[in-house]
Amino acid sequence: MHRRRTGRGHPRGPVGLLSARRGWGLLLCAAVLTLGLVAPAAARDIEGCLICHGDPNFVDTTPAQGQDPSLYVDPEMFAQSVHAGNACSSCHQGFVLTIPQHQIDASKSFRQVAIEACESCHPEAFMAYQTSTHAKVYYQGDVGPICISCHGSHAIRRVRLGDESADFKMSMARDSCGRCHAEKFEQAREEFHFKALSLGYARAATCFDCHGFHDNLSLKSGEAETLQACQKCHPGATTGFTYFQMHLDEGFVNAWWGVRVVYLFFSTLLIVVLVLGIAYTTVHFQKETRIMLGVAGRGLGRLFGFIRALEDESVRGAVDDRIAADEESRSAGKRADEEGGE
């Protein structure tokens, strides 16, 4: 009697099921043991590195030209980063715990080590980066932005696409994009989307919503790529929509003349309305103040007049009493004189 076999080569029946269960059991045990060994190893790796790099005064005594000599890693910031559970060596590949030289291949720059480390865990993002303007500049002279230029290194925040807060989007635009594109960032702050972000409207677009996260699109009005970027938030947008100016100087100095005319008209209208409103309010307030003070003054006048009348009446009463007493005293004296004469 022959047993039928499955596509995986295991015989069906009690024996086959038992073998399969044993296999899965062994695999599960191996996974648990691996996790149990990796986590402590990662912790030891981090602790070992932070012995030196956790000291704020730890610096590179021979830094490369233009490189920050500080080698300090803030333990608290790293503990809050998305990579807090990773071993240092998972990113700093080719490094060993030897002092003073950690890197096995000293010919590699730290930027090359960093970009290779990011590629090993984020291949899709890295491939998108390869098509960007940032990558072209980097590969031409090893000076262009790489992953850590925007994301940072030891305090990388978790990004939840579609669920970012307005503060997060604004801080990324300011601290990442704005660090190299300061003029563009300052211009964008005068634009509607950034005004909405500053008011807490998280759905408003920021730099990476239009230019992309890793592909770094160079958008130009009228191009299909630009239209696709606009249609992500504005589905009904047409080619004419792409001529909307996103980067404007303060006061719309570099804007199309029609936009500037509208801006100047409404700015002037706003100033006129405010001036007239303040003037009218001031005059009306003064009038109302005089009326209120008059009413209050009359009330106070009556009150003080009543008090003064009481005081006058009291004084007159005292004077009358004094006069009556004097007259009585004179009358008594006169009677005494008359009685003595008799």
Compute the average pLDDT of residues 316-328. 76
74-109 burial: b if 16+ Cβ within 10 Å, else e: eeeebeebebeebbbbebbeebeeeeeebbeeeeee
Inter-residue contact 191 to 246 (CB < 8 Å):
yes
pLDDT of residue 276: 92
Q: For the ranges 20-29, 55-64, 168-177, 204-213, which has the lowest average pLDDT?
A: 20-29
Q: How is the chain split into domains, by residue range?
A: 30-59+70-158, 160-255, 256-316
Q: For the ranges 11-25, 183-197, 319-333, which has the lowest average pLDDT?
A: 11-25
DSSP structural state of residue 175: I
Tell me the C-alpha distance between 210 and 188, whole Å.
Answer: 12
pLDDT, tens only, 202-222: 888 888 888 888 888 888 888
pLDDT of residue 194: 86
pLDDT of residue 48: 78
Inter-residue contact 102 to 92 (CB < 8 Å):
yes
Q: For the ranges 92-96, 102-106, 144-148, which has the lowest average pLDDT?
A: 102-106
Tell me the C-alpha distance between 214 and 131, whole Å.
Answer: 9
Confidence of residue 112 (pLDDT cuts 50, 70, 90): confident
Please provide the size of the chain in residues: 342
Q: Is the pLDDT of residue 105 over 50?
A: yes
Q: Is the pLDDT of residue 50 over 80?
A: yes
Q: Is the pLDDT of residue 42 over 60?
A: no
Q: What SS3 state is found at 36?
A: helix
Nearest to 147 by CA among 163, 165, 160, 159: 159
Residue 168 CA, distance from chain mean position: 5
Compute the average pLDDT of residues 272-287. 88
Which residues sit opposite 103 in a β-bridge?
95
Residue 116 CA, distance from chain mean position: 30
Mean pLDDT of all residues belonging to the chain: 76
pLDDT, tens only, 280-317: 888 888 777 777 777 776 666 676 666 677 766 777 77
State both tokens at 297. 């003054």
Which residues sit opposite 70 in a β-bridge?
59
pLDDT, tens only, 138-166: 888 777 888 888 888 888 887 777 778 88
